[in-house]
Amino acid sequence: MRKIGVFGSEFSVDKFPIINDLFAKLKSLNAAVFLQSSFRSFLSEKFDFHPETDGTVEDSLEDVEMALSIGGDGTFLRTALIVSKSDIPILGINIGRLGFLADTGRGEIGETLEEIFRGEYRIEKRSVLKLCTEHKVFSGFNYALNEVAILKRETSSMITIHAYLNDDYLTSYQADGLIISTPTGSTAYSMSVNGPILLPENNNFVLSPVAPHSLTTRPIVIPDNYHVMLKIESRINSFLVSLDGRSEAISTDISLKISKADFSTGIIKRLNHTFYQTLREKLMWGKDVRS
């Protein structure tokens, strides 16, 4: 028996058969299922669906051996936030759109779970970013699996971001923002502003400016044992800090220090699935989109 924590978010009616089949498969595998309370409420209220469970994740997190994240990459990031330092590996089941983190397709769920219960899988350890300030100003969990983003609050004026690497001055970005990304996050927000794609096992972070004023300002790859210090100037004396999409306004009086966390997030992968395969499938590399 494996003890499985099931996490999810709201989904449309046409996805319900996938969820129904998932819980049926877990039952056939004799899994002990612990369901996220908010997801259980959604299933009950929206579909009058009451799967057999052994309790809630919130009450039994210390007993959970692996987590299933049902949804898209946003659901996966929220799941990672909850399990955080518990060293619980996560399997992402994609019923959303693109799905770089939740990359198990709806047609692969049964076969993937069977492989996992036979012990035929691997766990990739992914780096996590930590945000530090002199005083705690970010009210939420100050870690990010994908990226820490510094963004302007106004729609018109840019901000100036003075960046230091290990206390050595790097440059001052005049831009709409700056993204500090892990290898995992290199295929997320950072990629959308032309940042490079890193392999998951790379020991690096990426600094990618958002709409920089100078065309010669390019993304830069740094070792992940560096710490990044940021000091921000803004016309309105505040800016946004976003950790995996959780954002908060902060005063420009506050300096930010970003470094590698002392723990990692484990992602469950099938033995026959590679990151290169994910790139080919999700980004349609090597495919003629005209055909």
Which residues are known catalytic residues?
A: 73
Question: Terminus-to-terminus CA distance in the chain, angstroms?
Answer: 47
Q: Which residues contact 277 (CB under 8 A, 6 or more apart)?
A: none
Cβ neighbours of 17 (radius 10 Å): 10
Under 8 Å between Cβ of 192 and 167: no
Pairing state between β 55-56 and 32-35: parallel
CA distance 166 to 241: 21
Copy the structure tokens of residue 90. Answer: 């996560």
Element (H, E) at 104: none
Q: Is 139 left (phi over 0), alpha (psi -120 to 50) or beta?
A: alpha
Under 8 Å between Cβ of 127 and 183: yes
CA distance 67 to 63: 11
Copy the structure tokens of residue 250. Answer: 């902060």
Pairing state between β 168-175 and 177-181: unpaired
